[in-house]
Amino acid sequence: MSAKNLLSGYKNLLDKYQSTFLLSRVWNLVGYLVTFFVVSTFLGKIEQGYYYTLNSLIALQVFFELGFSYVIVQKSSHLYSHWRSQPDHDYLSHEYKEASSFFFYVIQWFSGCAFFFIIILLIVGKSFFSAQTHNTISWSSVWYLLIVLTAVNLVLTAILSFFEGFGKALIIYKIKLFQNIFSQSILWISIYTGQGLKSIVFSNFTLFIVGLLLVLFLFRTDLIELFKRRTSKFIYWFKDLFRYQSKVALSWISGYFQFQLLVPIIFHFRGAIDAGRMGNTFTIVSGITALSLSLIQSKSWEYSALIAVKEFGKVNQIFKKNLWQIFLSSVFIGSSIYLAVIFINYKGYKICEKVLPPLPFLFFIIGTVFNVIIAGIAIYLRAFLEEKLMVVSLLTGISMILLLLLLTPKYGLLGVSIAYLSCTFIIGFLGAVLIYRKKLKSLVY
């Protein structure tokens, strides 16, 4: 096959949005692996447990963001599609003023979320870490700074989400790539030079500054036009999105129970060392999820835009292709990583002590493949501005917590992996597939 034909085949497989988003996720996967190596090599076992527990607790932002960043992308895509479909689409049109008022609502909402996030997390973190009898690490200053930086990053994330849906998706993917490159590089350098837990603060600060500067430079004209034509319609947008947003919020909270509570629960029942092993493993499988889902996340704005003008046949054709892409990529990446885990255990390399043993690791790999499919279906369904998987997410999250509390004290890491796989497949995967098929039958072409 000639180089020209090979390039043509690649372009047919991945468009420019997928390619850019995929490049970002490839960097993230490399970043996850490098982070795993740096953390497991240059942080002590106790410090590793605190590192991953801090990250898991800061993920409580899900209770404040409540999935709104995804809602913003979808709603702004609908608004952009309606604006661009007008014969004379300009900054003075009614459709653009609607988008401007929505942008202003987004800023108001996330500013409020950031404020409450700071207040509540100050209390939660102090209570959690102060209660640990084996607390030998200085955590307070790191925790306080991390809360503030996460709060301001919440507002920046909202702005990026709006522009991703409003015709700037390709630029946003590039901004996020630069953010990740700089912030993760700072994390590695900081850990390597002995900064310990403070490295998390340096990394999050870099994430914010790089993103803010790029947004102000690249979107300064858009920001000026949006603010010039803004009108305060907070109540209008709140009522318009409340039903959908509340369902997405419940799904995201359930997602926190499914994923982010694994490490804190192990930290509580089994100590910091096992929490570190779980954190290292979850860093790796999260990389699988992020890389695979990039092929479909990069298209979420397009799904929403097509659905807004009722192009259901076209959007379904695109989605089915994307669904196969994420399934095959997750299987390939997961299998490759698992073979590497088998190899390091067979050779007896010391690094195998930093992750889960082969059997529980396998359960996490399989569960991750199912989760990739669930997440892909969720992205498609949310493009209709509907949250069809709310009940599935709630049942999965509740079941996960109950099983973790039941199995972790007695069976440790193996019990955690059993809880993760069984809940993901029996409730999450089977439920998502059933709802997806039902939605397809309801569409009128």
The pLDDT, as a whole number, for residue 192 is 93
The pLDDT, as a whole number, for residue 444 is 66
Of 17-21, 77-81, 290-294, 362-366, the least confident: 17-21
CB atoms within 10 A of CB 440: 12
List Cα–Cα distances, 208 to 122, 135, 155, 160, 170, in angstroms. 20, 30, 10, 12, 19
**Can you tell me whether residue 289 is helix, strand or coil?**
helix
The pLDDT, as a whole number, for residue 372 is 94
Render pLDDT for 91-122 as a digit per residue (tens, 0 to 9). 778 888 898 999 999 999 999 989 998 998 88
Alpha-carbon distance of 36 to 34, in angstroms, equals 5
Q: Please, which pLDDT band fits residue 6 given cuts at 50, 70 and 90?
A: very low
Average pLDDT, the chain: 83
The pLDDT, as a whole number, for residue 3 is 35
**Amino acid at position 157, single letter:** T
The pLDDT, as a whole number, for residue 208 is 95
CB atoms within 10 A of CB 224: 10
Alpha-carbon distance of 337 to 345, in angstroms, equals 13
Q: Which residues contact 183 (CB under 8 A, 6 or more apart)?
A: 203, 204, 206, 207, 210
The pLDDT, as a whole number, for residue 63 is 67
Tell me how many degrees the CA angle 132-133-136 measures, rounded to the nearest 5. 85
The pLDDT, as a whole number, for residue 445 is 60
**Amino acid at position 28, single letter:** N
Nearest CA-CA partner of 264 in 361, 127, 375, 399? 127
Alpha-carbon distance of 122 to 143, in angstroms, equals 8
pTM of the shown model: 0.70
Of 29-38, 73-82, 130-139, 250-259, the least confident: 130-139
Mean pLDDT of 422-441: 93
Alpha-carbon distance of 38 to 32, in angstroms, equals 10
Contact 93, 86 (CB under 8 A): yes
Q: Is it the case that residue 419 has pLDDT exceeding 60?
A: yes
Render pLDDT for 187-221 as a digit per residue (tens, 0 to 9). 999 999 988 889 999 999 999 999 999 999 999 98
The pLDDT, as a whole number, for residue 7 is 32
Radius of gyration of the chain from Cα atoms?
22
Q: Is it the case that residue 135 has pLDDT exceeding 60?
A: no
* Residue, of 33 and 66, whose pLDDT is higher: 33
Nearest CA-CA partner of 157 in 107, 120, 194? 107
Nearest CA-CA partner of 282 in 253, 305, 258? 258
Alpha-carbon distance of 37 to 25, in angstroms, equals 18
The pLDDT, as a whole number, for residue 12 is 46
The pLDDT, as a whole number, for residue 234 is 85
The pLDDT, as a whole number, for residue 11 is 41
Report the interhelical angle of 272-297 vs 390-423 (nearest 10°). Answer: 130
Q: Please, which pLDDT band fits residue 428 given cuts at 50, 70 and 90?
A: very high
CB atoms within 10 A of CB 421: 19
**Can you tell me whether residue 383 is helix, strand or coil?**
coil
Q: Is it the case that residue 126 has pLDDT exceeding 80?
A: no
The pLDDT, as a whole number, for residue 134 is 56
Dihedral, CA atoms, 183, 186, 191, 193, nearest 10 degrees? 180
Q: CA neighbours within 13 Å on the CB side: how many for 83?
A: 21
Q: Please, which pLDDT band fits residue 9 given cuts at 50, 70 and 90?
A: very low
Q: Is it the case that residue 274 has pLDDT exceeding 90?
A: no
- CA 72 distance to own-chain centroid: 15
* Residue, of 349 and 324, whose pLDDT is higher: 324
The pLDDT, as a whole number, for residue 149 is 92
The pLDDT, as a whole number, for residue 14 is 55
Q: Is it the case that residue 290 has pLDDT exceeding 50?
A: yes
Each domain of the chain, given as residue ranges in start order, spans 13-442
**Can you tell me whether residue 35 is helix, strand or coil?**
helix
Q: Which residues contact 90 (CB under 8 A, 6 or more apart)?
A: 96
Of 211-215, 285-289, 324-328, 407-411, the least confident: 285-289
Q: Is it the case that residue 89 has pLDDT exceeding 70?
A: no
The pLDDT, as a whole number, for residue 173 is 86
Tell me how many degrees the CA angle 233-237-241 measures, rounded to the nearest 5. 175
The pLDDT, as a whole number, for residue 5 is 40
